[in-house]
Structures are given as C-alpha cells and as structure tokens.
Chain A
Amino acid sequence: MAASVEQQQQQQAGPAAPGAQQGASIPSLFMFPPMIRDALETDSSNVQDDTVDEVLPFLTGKEHSQLNAHGIPRLDKERHVRFVKKQLGVLPSMYVGADPSRPWIFYWCLNALSLLGEDLEPYRARLIETVRPIQNKTGGFGGGFGQSSHLATTYAIVLSLALVGGDEAFEVVDRRSMWKWLCQLKQEDGGFQMAVGGEEDVRGAYCASVVISLLNLPLDLSSDSPAYAAGHTSLLSGLGEWVRLCQTYEGGVSANHGVEAHGAYAFCALGCLSIIDSPHRSIRRYMDVPRLISWLSSRQYAPEGGFSGRTNKLVDGCYSHWVGGCWPLIEASLSGPEGPTAGPAGRPLEDTDVDDSLFSRNGLIRYILCCCQDMSKRGGMRDKPSKYSDAYHTCYVLSGLSSAQNKWRLVASRADETLLGDDLWEVLPHTKGEQIFDEDDRIGTIHPVYAIPQHRVDAIRSYFSSKEGF
C-alpha cells in the first residue's frame, strides 16, 4: 500500500517535472491572495502582504519536491523526532535565555515526541532527576535550581511528569507545599498570580486549575492567603467570574481585564472553565459564546490556512494549538454531553459525511504541512517559513495538527460538580469530508483540556484521586 502511495506521488507530483504542481489539486482559495483587499496601505497590511508572498510558494508546492495528490508534502516524522531529541540533549550557551523557562522544553519536547509516537520510557528517570532540584521547599517548581516557583514552569513540570508516568514520577511532587503555595498565589479578585509578587493573568487561572485537578489538591483556602481576607474560602471561588472579565469587546480573551484579545489566552480561559465545570455549563455561563466563536473563526486566514493570534496580526504555527485547541472545547460547550459512540449496530452518530467542523481543518493541515515543517537537516516545526524551528513551535504545531486530524467529543459530564475535570471525553479520527493528508501522517492525540494524551491524564488522576488531604 505504501508503494502505491509513492507511485501515485511520482505520477501526480514528481519532483522533477516542472509544473507538476498543476497536477495536484490545490483549491484556489489557498493559491491566491484574498478576494477583498483594501487599497489603503498601512504597516499592518504591508507585513500581511509580505507574509502571503512568503507562504504562497510553499502552499502551491514550488518549495517542495514531493507532494501528494492534494499538493501536500508528507509529515517528516523522523526529521522532527531527531530535532526534538536534540533539544533534550546539551544545549549550547546561546540557550542561556531559556534558563528560566527550561521546564517548558521538557514539556514541549516530551509532548511532541509522544504525538509523534515515540516511547517516553527512556526519559522517565532523567526527567525525575532533572526536576527534583527545581522544586522549592515553599511549594511549586521554578525555572531551574534556586529560581522562584512559577505557575508556568510548575504546569510544564506537572504535565511532563504525567507524560512519562509512573508512581516515582508522581511522587516527586510535594502536594502539601504545592497547595500552600497556590493559596499564596490566589488573589483577592479571584485570579491567580504566576509567582508570588508576579503578574496576574489568565495563564495563572488555567495553570492553577490544571495543577489542582491533576494532583487532586484540596480546594480549601489557607487563612494566610491574600484571597482569604477578601472572603474567598476556596482556591476556585470567583475564578470563573474573574475569567469572564477577560473576554473583550472583540469576543476573544485577553491576558487580564481590559487588554487586547489574544489566541493563547483564549485557550487558557476555555481550558480553565472546562476544569472548574463541564464546558457546556461553564463556557456558556461565563462567556459570550457567539462572539467568542466569531472571533476564533476570524483567526483563520486564506490563503495561509493557519491561525493568527490577534486581529490584523500574522498567522503563526503555534496558534494551531492555541486557537485550534479551542474548537473541541467550543464544540463541547455547544453540544453538551453526547453519550457514548454507538457501536456498529447502534444509532449512527454521523448521518452525513459532510464536514461540519467550525473551522477549516484542511486549511490548517495545509498550512502546517506545507509551511511549518523545516525540511532542512535541522528539522522541527516553525512559526512560518522565514522563522527557525524550535521546541515551542514543534509542540504546538503538532498539537494543532492533531486537533485538526482528530475529533474530540464530550461523552459524559462529571457526575459531581466537585469532581474537577472529571468529564468523559472520547477521540476518534476525523474522517468527514476530504482527507488531504496521508493516513500515515495522522499523529497521536492529546486531551482537549490538559494537552497531554488522555491515558496519561487518567493515570495521574487515578493515582492522586485516592488521596484525601495530603
């Protein structure tokens, strides 16, 4: 079967034949600038035009030697795996800027490897030994040994430990001090600071919810928490209301109240809300959903096919996850729990083969496979063709690819509202509409809220669910 695919490629888009691209069927939507363009030029329209010029040769196949019948190159897994593995090795001194965010590299790389189907077993012991000294006695993990605890790096380390799995990995975390520290971060207005004395933003709301629910921490607020004096008694009280005020007039979500809507913060907000209650309840309760969907949908551009992070900004591969990852949560909020997928004899769930997705999965897949792969010796995934690949983009571009290739459904809502993040989700390959990528290039899946594979979420949750108190 692999041979026939290759033959097909040779016939339809052989590397040597000039004009082979014409043989591939690429919708004109992805080959030409948009239909409506204003005459007025500004800085923003100039860089946008430059970007379209930059990506078109990649979208139309001119920059690629091997294309399938849809004008799409293969996902070069081997090359990207090599790139990611290198990022986990010794990094040269120019990486000193990554010193405060090194735990992110663990998560980005391990998650990318997992999406690419690699075994993470060889990294378990190394990860455990690497993160141990990063944990502070006062709770949480910093960017490195001797650095203050930070919610972003704590989130990254908890997810990394969940990714490698195993009791020894889970036991690294000191839950009691983690709880105490989170109580320190909880603010009077219901939100979370990223570090003691650090900024308060919607990342804090998401990272804290993830950590609390994965580690099954008690929700009671300690009496020395800054929020306690303001009348809060739970780590999560007032959090939904706080997140609600992050939604902007555009419909998107900003870092904190009153700032500009931004794709990464939209994901954080929806992720947080989907943990504190089931998405069909909490997202509908705290968000203006029609405006949110409209704004999220506006993030997808043509001809690029990818997502931008803000209105009138450029596409960037990382928003494949930040915006692309919002869709399963939005869909769940619209549909509510759908019940289990019917077996062969049961009620057919799909009464049509028409793709009813809210965004263009194929547009995104096209952008990712054509523009975001570094096909040089370096490998890895990138923002756009003019940028270098890095671990961050490799993780989030692949995460976005996964969410475009697969379809998540909320099967059942949590039985008890106090069981944080206890909804039942199910994933199936997305098969509706035309499939433009080769089946071998379908990658692994990640939980729509926790951004790691579902069985990894289940394993860490079940490990800690037996723990009451500490």
Chain B
Amino acid sequence: MPAKPKATAKAANPEPKATPPDAPPVTVGERSKQRYYQTNPVERRFEEVGFPGLTPAEKKTYTHARLILPVANRQVSLSNKTDREYWKQVTKEGLPCRRLKNNYNWGTDKHGRDISTYRIDELKKRSLSQAKLTALNVLHQQFLLKREAARSKGAKLPQEDIDQEKQRRQEMAVLKRELYGEIPGPLANDPEWDDVIPIPQEESQDALARIAYPDDYAEAVSYLRAVMASEEYSPRCLRLTERVIAMNPGHYTVWLYRFKIVSALKLSITDEIQWLNDVALDHLKNYQIWHHRQLLLDHHYANTLSSDAEAAKQFAKSETDFISKILSKDTKNYHVWSYRQYLITKLDYWSPFELATTQSMIEDDLRNNSAWSHRFFIVFSDPSISTKGSASTEHDPKVPDAIIDREIAYAQEKIKLAPQNQSSWLYLRGVLAKGGRGLDTVGEFASQFFSNLGAEDEEVTSSHALDLMSEVYHKQGDIEKAKLCLKELSEKWDPVREGYWKYRLSELK
C-alpha cells in the first residue's frame, strides 16, 4: 500500500495553530527560507491555503504585517502623533518591521553552482576564506603603500618584506582560485612586475579563429605587449621572453624583441647561443630559432669576430659541431642548412672539414638532397674559386678545371651506387653547367644505364640517364634517337611525366 502523500494529509487538516518547529536547515537555501518565514508571519499558511483559508486572527496579522512596510520605508508620511500610535500598535501585535525577501540570491561559485545549495558548514568555510582574503588584501595594500613610500625616498624595501609579499600573493592566489576560479598568473603574483600594466587582448566574441588562450600564456603576452610598447630592455624582459618562447616558440615577435634585449644589454653571445642550443634541441622544426641565431652571428661578427680571426674560426667550429648534432636528428632541416650556409659565408669558413662532413652525410643517405645542395654551395660559392653573383645554372669560368673534374667524378661514383637517384644526376648536371661543359662529355657514362633502346628487350636502370641522353643525341644531331629516349620515358619508364616528355619532343627540331 502506497504511503499517503504528505501534502494531502496537511491540506486535510484545518487546524493551523500548532505549527511544527522547523527541522534544522541543511543547506543555505533552506536556512534562508526558514528565516524568510520567520520574518514573514503567516506567509507559509498563506501559501498553503490562500487568504480565504486563513483564520480571522491570521488574516489580521497578515494584513497588518503588510501595512508596515510602506510606513517603515517612508513611502507614506504620518504626522508625529499618528506615527507614535502606529508603532505602538505594531509593537503590541509583535509584527515584524523588517522582513527578509523571498528567494534571496546567494549567487554562484566558480563552478556555476548556486551557493544556496551549499551546506551550512560549506558556507562557513567559504566565508572564512573570504575573510582571510580580505585580511591578506589589507596587508597587500599596506605593502604597496610602504613600497611607494620607500621609492619616493629613493629607498628599497627589505628583501624580507618582498619575500613575505610573494608568499602572501601565493596565498591570495590560492584563495582567489578556490573562491572565484580566478587564476592570477605568476607575473601578477610577482612584485617585480607591479609597475607594469599589462595590455590584454580584447576581442569580440565572434572574432574569426579566436584562440582560447591558456591563462598563463595570455598573461605573459599581455605583459610582453606592455614592455615592448615602452621599449624596455631589461633582465626581467629577457626572462619574460624565455617564458613566452617556452610556451610558444613560433612567436616571431618575441624572438625579434629578445634579440634587441640581448644587444641592448650587451649580453654574452656565447651564453645566449648556449641557451639557444637547448631550445633548438627541444623544437627541431622551429625556424625562428635559426633566424635568431643568424642575428646573433651578425652581432657577434660585427663586435668581435671580424677583428679576431682565431675567435671566428673557433666560433665556426663550435657552430658547425652543433649544426651537425641537429642534422643528425633531422637530416633535411631546411632552416638549419640555410643557417649553415649563412655561417660559412659570413665567417669565410670554406674548410675541407666542411666538405668532409657534408660528404659523410651524403654517404649516409645518397638521396639526401639537402646534403648534395650544401656540397654544391660549398664548392661553387667559395669566393676564392668562383665569381661573385654567378647564377647557379650558368657557367663560371673562374672555377678551376680540377675542381670540375673532381666533382664530376664524385657524382658519377655515387650515381653508380644508385642510378635512379635523381640527386646525384642533378648534381652532375649542375657541375657540368658550372664548368661550361656539354652534357655530351658524360654521354658515354650515361649510356651504361640503359641498353637495346626501342627493342623488345629494352633495359633501363636510370630514367635520368635517358633524359640526359636525349639532350646529348639532340646535340649530336641524332634527332631520331633523341626522340626515342623521350618516347620511351613517356610511354614506359616515367609516364607520370608524359606531358613534360611530350613537350620536350615537340621542342626537338
């Protein structure tokens, strides 16, 4: 048998007099409700039975209680005498002249939870935290005043005070987070940054591709904007850049700013390079690092290395060592190779050592085209044997024949190991162009990579050889053979480039 609903039982009971005492409230909301009823007599009965359901005494109390408010709130003005009489009557009837409103709004906490659903002890705890925060804030304000006073006298606060303040801000941060979910960043907590007013990014809600920045990052870049705007170059700014870089190494602005700080403070370039090495190892694909390094190199060169050949050599050595370390992890890193070339040009480091390390990288992976490109650079851009400003695809008469011969032999040796490797063929062509030698000078060499062209048993071990030979035959006047090479490439050996081979065919005359 189902239990009788409580409400029905209550409604059936017309006897209103003995209201059962309230059970002690569990939540803050319940307590508010109870207090509301305590300060609003008959209100609960009114809600239950309505005005007609009240006893005459209740009706009187209810009505009189309602009449108090306009007078208490001075909405109705009474003469002095009437006023006295009025309050006498109120006191006699024991009517409440202050009444709590219903549905008091306690607000919500950081999780969006309504505080009225807090248990009483929870609210107590929260209030205690609020009181603590207020007390800490008083001390914090005192600190600020004290520091201001000290500053105006040109003095500094004792370290002890600053340490206490740091401690205090940490405590405040914990309380703020606990109470309001506010996360005052580490910079706002650091008295060192108090004089900087951060410049936050304010964007409308519907800005395009709006990034939900992590709080720490948003705070750090807000301070960054402020110190950049005021053109401050100081140790704390250097630390700030490090902080931002750790969170976002692709932030080019912070790198450019960091370089300005390093040069303004005349910091040790080798220390900066040392620091940079660790960052580079952590972020292999980042390239701001390498431009920063290039700026450091320029700076170091202008101030020191240009007048100290030995130091320059040392620096080049340590740099190439580090570059090699990075390249061993990422063998085709474009920006690292690019920096390496810049370094060599800047420091005139056209050493046999450089050629040897590149060679060993080629030998590790014959298809590492970056290493081949670097070899071409160190051989043909060396100012002692080349013409400045000579384009890469044009003949440079200044390059000695012996070097051309050596490089041809090197390329050919590597082609034999892997005839379909385009890197070594492109290198061979590049060397021939630099040397002003025709492709026909390697015709015999290239011919070994195919046989029986056009026949049933045609064999080709290098499409690049066929490509080259079509040009050789053409030059030799054997148009038919040149066409045959291109036709076989187009139809059989490299058909994805059919359009190109056909274009080449159309160019043959």
Same assembly: yes
Interface residues of A (CB under 8 A from B): 29, 35-38, 40, 42-45, 87-93, 95-102, 105-106, 109, 123, 126-127, 129-130, 133, 142-148, 150, 195-199, 244-245, 247-251, 254-256, 258-262, 288, 291, 293-295, 297-298, 300-302, 305, 310-313, 355-360, 363
Question: Beyond A100-B248, A311-B423, A312-B421, is A358–B500 a contact (Cβ under 8 Å)?
Answer: yes
The reply to whether B253 and A142 form a contact with Cβ atoms under 8 Å apart is yes
Q: How far is the CB of B364 from chain A (nearest CB, A)?
A: 8
Chain B stretch 195-214: residues in CB contact (< 8 A) with chain A: 199, 201, 203-204, 206-214
- For A90, the closest partner residue in chain B by CB is B210
- Cα separation A462 to B369 with both chains bound (whole Å): 45
Of B303-311, B317-325, B427-435, the one touching chain A: B427-435
Number of contact residues on B: which range applies?
35 or more
* With contact pairs A145-B225, A262-B334, A360-B499 given, residues A311 and B369 touching in the complex (Cβ less than 8 Å): yes
Determine if B213 and A96 form an interchain contact, defined as CB atoms under 8 angstroms apart.
yes
Q: Which of B224, B250, B423, B426 has the most CB of A within 10 A?
A: B426
Contact A260 B334 (CB under 8 A): yes
B422 touches A312 (CB 8 A): yes
Q: Report how far A356 CA is from B368 CA in the complex, Å.
A: 33
- Within 8 Å CB of A195, what residues of B? 252, 256
Q: Which of A133, A198, A251 lies in contact with B252, CB distance below 8 A?
A: A198
The residue of chain B having its C-beta at the shortest distance from the C-beta of A287 within the complex is B393
Q: Does B370 contact A (CB under 8 A)?
A: yes
CB-based contact B209/A101 at 8 Å: no
Which residues of the other chain, B, contact A313 by a CB distance below 8 angstroms? 332, 369
Chain B residues within an 8 Å CB radius of A245: 389, 391-392
Which of B212, B247, B373, B417 meets A91, CB within 8 Å? B212
Cβ-based interface call for B25 (8 A): no
A434–B389 Cα distance when bound, in Å, is 46
Answer whether A36 and B250 are a contact pair too, CB < 8 Å, given A146-B225, A312-B368, A355-B499: no
B residues in contact with A87, CB < 8 Å: 209
Q: List residues of chain A with CB within 8 A of the CB of B426.
A: 249-251, 295, 311
- Interface SS of chain B: helix
Known: A90-B212, A99-B213, A123-B208. A35 touches B248 (CB 8 A): no
Mark contacts of B373-384 with chain A using CB atoms, 8 A cut-off: 1 yes-contact digit, 0 otherwise: 110110011000
A404 CA to B153 CA, complexed, in Å: 74
- List residues 410-444 of chain B with CB under 8 A from any CB of chain A: 417-423, 426-427, 429-431, 433-434
Quick one: which of A105, A142, A298 contacts B422, CB cutoff 8 A? A298
Cβ of B463 under 8 Å from chain A: yes
**Is B193's beta carbon under 8 Å from chain A?**
no
Query: Bound complex: CA of A96 vs CA of B208, how far in Å?
Result: 15
* 0/1 interface trace, chain B 467-509, chain A, CB 8 Å (1 if under): 1000000000000000000000000111111111011000000
B251 in contact with A100 (CB, 8 Å) = yes
Instruction: With a 10 A CB-CB cut-off, give which of A144, A302, A312 has the most chain B CB atoms.
Output: A312
> What residues on A are CB-neighbors of B61 within 8 Å?
none
Flag if B496 contacts A305 (CB, 8 Å). yes
7 smallest CB-CB distances across A and B, nearest first, come from A249-B430, A44-B367, A146-B225, A302-B496, A297-B500, A260-B373, A311-B369
Q: How far is the CA of A95 from the CA of B209 in the complex (A)?
A: 10
CB pair A288–B393 under 8 Å, yes or no, is yes
Question: For chains A and B in complex, what number of residue pairs have CB atoms within 8 angstroms?
Answer: 238
Closest partner residue, chain B, to A27 (CB atom): B495
Residue from A35, A96, A126 within 8 A of B492 (CB atoms):
A35
User: Given the known A-B contacts A38-B418, A95-B211, A130-B203, are A255 and B433 also in contact in the complex, defined by CB atoms under 8 Å?
Assistant: no
Task: State whether the Cβ of B462 lies closer than 8 Å to any Cβ in chain A.
Answer: yes
User: Inside 8 A of B250's CB, which chain A residues have their CB?
Assistant: 97, 100-101
Q: Please state if B365 and A298 are interface contacts (CB–CB under 8 Å).
A: no
* A38 and B419 contact, CB distance less than 8 A: yes
Contact between chains at B338 and A255 (CB < 8 Å): yes
Given that A126-B207, A249-B430 are contacting pairs, would A42 and B365 also be in contact in the complex, using a CB cutoff of 8 Å?
yes
Given the interface pairs A29-B496, A99-B248, A288-B393, the reply to whether A146 lies near B209 with Cβ below 8 Å is no
In-complex Cβ contact of A251 among B209, B345, B393, B427 (8 A): B393
Q: What would 26 A/B residue contacts be, using CB atoms closer than 8 Å?
A: A36-B460, A38-B421, A43-B368, A44-B365, A91-B211, A97-B250, A99-B217, A105-B209, A126-B207, A133-B201, A142-B253, A145-B203, A146-B201, A147-B251, A197-B295, A198-B256, A247-B392, A247-B393, A249-B431, A258-B381, A258-B392, A259-B337, A291-B393, A294-B467, A310-B369, A312-B421
Could you say which residues of chain B place their CB within 8 Å of the CB of A260? 334, 337, 369-370, 373-374
Contact A129 B366 (CB under 8 A): no
Given the complex of chains A and B, what is the CA–CA distance between A179 and B238 in angstroms?
A: 32
Contact B252 A100 (CB under 8 A): yes
In the complex formed, the residue of A with least CB distance to B295 is A197
Question: Does the CB pair B201–A42 fall under 8 Å?
Answer: no
Q: Do B331 and A43 touch across chains, with their CB atoms under 8 A apart? A: yes
Q: Report Cα–Cα, A93/B503, bound state, in Å.
A: 50
* Among A91, A244, A311, contact of B209 (Cβ-Cβ < 8 Å): A91
Judging by beta carbons under 8 Å apart, are B427 and A249 in contact?
A: yes
